[in-house]
Amino acid sequence: MWRLFVFWLSLVCLVVCNSCRDKADERMYQRLSYWDSMVDSVPQLVLDSLQRINSEDMNRSNKAYYGLLKVISDDKTYVNFTSDSLISSVGDYYRLHDPKNSNYIRALAYQGIVRTRMGVKDSTVYEPLREAGRLFVSMNNPDPSLGYMINYFLGNIHYNNRNYVSADEYFRRTLDYAREERDSIHLFDTYLALYWNEMVQEKLDRGKLYLDTLSGFYNRLPGKDYFILNAQSIYYDMTGEPEKALEREKELLRVT
């Protein structure tokens, strides 16, 4: 009788402990989701919040989510990456345990991004981004922000490899997603990428169309005036208008 009582008591304690653990895991997931909603707008705040908690106490799912947010907030606060081990472990978790989670696509995309930031030049940069793109187009309700990020970095890879036609295709897709997002900064960055892709091919007429669009952002976006003035300076220098180019260079010094 006593053994039966001890058995049932242990069972009840186990159920209660598991219930408490499940509630704690759910609360942590809600916190991570909240920080996720802020990571684009205030990445430094999210990074500070993540650094205040101990990820070792989390379950595997939350630990992977934590690692993903840590990499994203590091990237958006311009931390210098020296290793891709964290984002690789995050990608491995989602691939093995939750491959239909959109975070798996984000993890793949950031594998490519982190390796790009590290200066890696081989196919280990391109392959995860391409796989992210393949999975992204199969989603029922794809997030345009994710589509923007994948195509923007794929475009950059082709641009850096001098595959300008392919770069143009990816940047145009990027522009579609930026318009769908209605994100002014993403729109600006995409127009700037399209501009340089034309200028490096010396397609000055098409470059001028993008430059006119970029110039419309002047004094509208924090930190972007420098890039506008630099683009204008290069354009005027290439079209044989040194006086205008010099004016932009002087303005660049003031902005800097």
Please tell me whether residue 217 adopts helix, strand or coil conformation: coil
Q: What is the pLDDT of residues 215-235, one digit of tens each?
A: 999 999 888 999 999 999 999
- Do 168 and 194 touch, CB atoms closer than 8 A? yes
Identify the pLDDT of residue 154.
94
Distance CA 152, CA 4 (A): 64
At 229, which amino acid appears? L
Q: Residue 8: is its pLDDT beyond 60?
A: no
**Weakest-pLDDT range from 9-13, 94-98, 244-248:** 9-13
182-190: which pairs have CB atoms within 8 A and are 24 or more residues apart?
183/145, 183/148, 184/217, 184/220, 184/221, 185/221, 185/224, 186/145, 186/148, 186/152, 188/214, 188/217, 188/221, 188/224, 189/152, 190/148, 190/152
| CB of 189 closer than 8 Å to CB of 177 | no
Query: Is the distance from CB of 210 to CB of 198 less than 8 angstroms?
Result: yes
